[in-house]
A and B are shown apart, each in its own frame.
Chain A
Amino acid sequence: MKRRNFVKSTLLGSMTAALGTDIVFGTLMPDGYTPLALLQNTDPFQLFDKDPQMVVLNNKPWNIEAQAHLLDDNVTPNTRMFIRNNGIIPERIDASKWTLTIDGESAKEPKTYTLVDLKTRFPQYTYQLTLECGGNGRSEFDPPAKGNQWTVGAVSCANWTGVRLRDVLEDVGFNKDAVYIGYHATDIHLSRDPDKEPISRGVPMAKALQDETLLAFRMNEKDIPMAHGYPLRLVAGGWPASASGKWVNRVSIRNKVHDGAKMTGTAYRVPCESVAPGEKIKEEDFCIIESMPVKSLITYPKSGATFPLGKKLQIRGHAWAGELEVKKMEYSIDFGATWKKCAVERPANRLAWQHFTATIDFPKKGYYEVWARATDSENTGQPMVLPGWNPKGYLNNACHRIAVKVT
């Protein structure tokens, strides 16, 4: 194969992955031609193969969320998975030449793997892993918090397949002084400054070494879609999804807390002590978010349902609790005056969201809100009002609610 053709065909492969569909007559495409669909201001629903009801919060960088009723599937399909980007999606990806380097102060020695190395040299595992953006629910904070104004839809639970990060780190070897891993990736800074990384976060060693922390190359039994990190993504379920780096090509084993982009300052951090709404906090008084708090979402019916008196309403949804498990799920139709139990399933595996159902009888006609409240294995439940205000608007796990009318 001539080099030029080879480059073209691999590029086509990555374009096809980005589009989620074959490029018809792609082999006839002129060299150096970028399909219109890959330019920034094109139809994101086609570009990323998303459900038309997904909501675009920002088109540069791309940030797209689901609505509650779109998340009804037990395993979130790509079409309904939120996209959160800090930078520009890599423009050229050649999976056949992709490498992952493990380095850092605490690595015995730097070591580089190809994707084939990873796939053939280590056992593969598949887990359903809940990924929720740290800023999911930000839109509700008062005073308002800066950033993309996520409502409820920046959460997903898909099947991720890959190798354990632990197996790879142990293959490289690391010293006892290792405290953190930090990822590096090939996305592009918004300013296009090649010396800047849009995001380079990580997790403490204890999280890095968990069974479920993966270097994933498949999502829902297919190559990971371009917007979600093709061809390699670090997946650390139950933690802010920003810890699950996309397009990862390097993982550093650090002898200190990783200090990459969006690890320092106030990014993905909340005040260590609770503060009054609007209060000013010094940077040194912020702490890094680790496990996400207990939360739930009613995914059926869609808010706004009307039905006749006498009909029993079936509700269902999902609940999750970061590193913990959800042990109790309740609903209320009287604004929290009384709560009734929902049936809640055990998770498919640790860090997977859990499914709940309930059947509700309404006593008379009128407007109701159905509120849902999950309680985790340490007996912490969701608040009905906003939890502690924080300047960046993270960790809003207030109860989800839908409006219904009995006619």
Chain B
Amino acid sequence: MKQLQKKRNRTRLLLVAIALLAAVSGIFFIRSGQGGEDKEVYQNIPSDDDFDKIENGIHLRTGLIAADGLTEVVNNCTTCHSAQLVTQNRMSRERWVATIRWMQKTQNLWDLGANEEIIINYLVTNYPPLKKGRRAALTDIEWYALEP
């Protein structure tokens, strides 16, 4: 939790810095480009409450399923790559473990310590393999009238 708090503070700082930069340069552009026309620059800064918002069981910021182990997964698995690389995949325990070992061996992933079991349980519970067979039926077809 401490780590997450730290990360939050850092992100907040970064957001403020970006907003400031954008605001300053935005005003600068308008001044020099449009002869000082009176325009305000609005910057959308996500409020603190939204940062880890969960809707319909999904952690909005990452797209991960909100369940036990979410915080550990966010903190350890989304530093180098996006959470989309997790949510796209479905694997057995053995293969999730093998993936972690591969990242540790070749991709600079650190020792996960006590978090490893929590992370693996989260992945196996929420992203297990699905049976697809040798060729699945076409689904999610959006029907439309073909123009003559």
The answer to whether B132 touches A144 (Cβ under 8 A) is yes
Q: Roughly how many angstroms separate A385 CA and B134 CA in the complex, as a whole number?
A: 6
- Pick the contact of B29: A25, A142, A146 (CB < 8 A): A25
A148 in contact with B144 given A60-B81, A140-B136 (CB within 8 Å): no
In this assembly, does B75 line the interface, its C-beta being within 8 Å of a C-beta of chain A? Answer: no
Number of interface residues of A (CB under 8 A): 46
Interface mask (B10-23 → A, CB under 8 Å = 1, otherwise 0):
00000000100110
Residues on B with beta carbons closer than 8 Å to the beta carbon of A193: 108
Residues on A with beta carbons closer than 8 Å to the beta carbon of B131: 142
The answer to whether A148 touches B141 (Cβ under 8 A) is no
- Pick the contact of A306: B91, B143, B148 (CB < 8 A): B143
Interface pick from A29-37, A109-117, A124-132: A29-37
From residue B84, how far is it (CB to closest CB) to chain A in Å?
5
- Pick the contact of A386: B25, B33, B135 (CB < 8 A): B135
In this assembly, does B115 line the interface, its C-beta being within 8 Å of a C-beta of chain A? Answer: no
Please report the number of residue pairs spanning A and B whose Cβ atoms sit closer than 8 angstroms: 101
Residues on A with beta carbons closer than 8 Å to the beta carbon of B21: 33
B108-148 interface (Cβ within 8 A of A): 108, 129-136, 138, 141-146, 148
In this assembly, does B47 line the interface, its C-beta being within 8 Å of a C-beta of chain A? Answer: no
The answer to whether A306 touches B95 (Cβ under 8 A) is no
Number of interface residues of B (CB under 8 A): 40
Interface pick from A1-9, A291-299, A348-356, A398-406: A398-406
Interface mask (B85-114 → A, CB under 8 Å = 1, otherwise 0):
100111110010001000000111000000
The answer to whether B132 touches A140 (Cβ under 8 A) is yes
In this assembly, does A191 line the interface, its C-beta being within 8 Å of a C-beta of chain B? Answer: yes
Residues on A with beta carbons closer than 8 Å to the beta carbon of B33: 24-25, 28
When A and B form their complex, which 7 residue pairs have the shortest distance between CB atoms, in order from nearest? A191-B108, A60-B82, A142-B132, A190-B80, A305-B146, A385-B134, A307-B146
Known contacts A57-B84, A58-B81, A58-B82; 4 further A-B pairs (Cβ under 8 A): A25-B32, A141-B132, A146-B95, A386-B135
- Interface residues of chain B, those whose CB is within 8 Å of chain A, are 18, 21-22, 24-25, 28-29, 32-33, 80-82, 84-85, 88-92, 95, 99, 106-108, 129-136, 138, 141-146, 148
Jot down 24 A-B pairs with beta carbons below 8 A, ordered by A. Answer: A28-B28, A30-B28, A56-B84, A58-B81, A58-B85, A59-B84, A141-B132, A146-B89, A146-B95, A149-B88, A191-B107, A191-B108, A196-B108, A265-B106, A305-B145, A306-B143, A306-B144, A306-B145, A311-B146, A369-B138, A384-B135, A401-B138, A403-B138, A403-B141
